[in-house]
């Protein structure tokens, strides 16, 4: 789930060549609303926990996994509809764990950050929240 900055969204609105991006956003929002009650299967919750551990080294139990997806409905909906293997699902899940623990998005390669160092900070803060660090980075 892409979260645009206000200046970028205004650029889309002001430039006819980019207005299609606002239409895409409407389609995404409409789908989220239409599927607002979608819930992952038990297997999908397990897949979510495994993916979170794979990227962050954090081992969420079932309650924590459900709690995270309750706090981040777009991630819950995306996983329920498309599964964890979907690229967009992985994006919203990485955003969810990062935003929940650190209040920021998961870094992308364009950010120029050392992802391993980011994960270390994420793990340190997650431990303070009582989340289990399965494998330290």
Spatial distance between the Cα atoms of 55 and 33, rounded to a whole number of angstroms: 28
Residues 6+ apart with CB under 8 A from 110: none
pLDDT digits (tens, 9 = 90+) for 20-59: 999 999 999 999 999 999 999 999 999 999 999 999 999 9
What pLDDT is stored for residue 111 in this prediction? 87
What pLDDT is stored for residue 2 in this prediction? 59
The position carrying tokens 């794979």 is 54
CB of 92 closer than 8 Å to CB of 72: yes
């Amino acid at each position: 789930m892409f979260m645009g900055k206000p200046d970028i969204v205004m650029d889309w609105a002001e430039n006819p060549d980019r207005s299609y991006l606002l239409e895409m956003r409407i389609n995404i929002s409409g789908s989220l609303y239409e599927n607002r009650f979608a819930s992952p299967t038990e297997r999908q919750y397990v897949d979510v926990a495994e993916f979170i551990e794979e990227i962050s080294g954090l081992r969420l139990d079932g309650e924590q996994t459900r709690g995270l997806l309750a706090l981040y409905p777009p991630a819950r909906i995306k996983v329920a509809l498309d599964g964890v293997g979907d690229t967009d699902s992985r994006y919203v899940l990485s955003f969810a764990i990062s935003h929940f623990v650190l209040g920021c998005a998961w870094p992308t390669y364009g950010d120029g950050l050392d992802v391993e160092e980011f994960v270390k900070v994420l793990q340190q803060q997650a431990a303070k929240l009582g989340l289990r660090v399965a494998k330290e980075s």
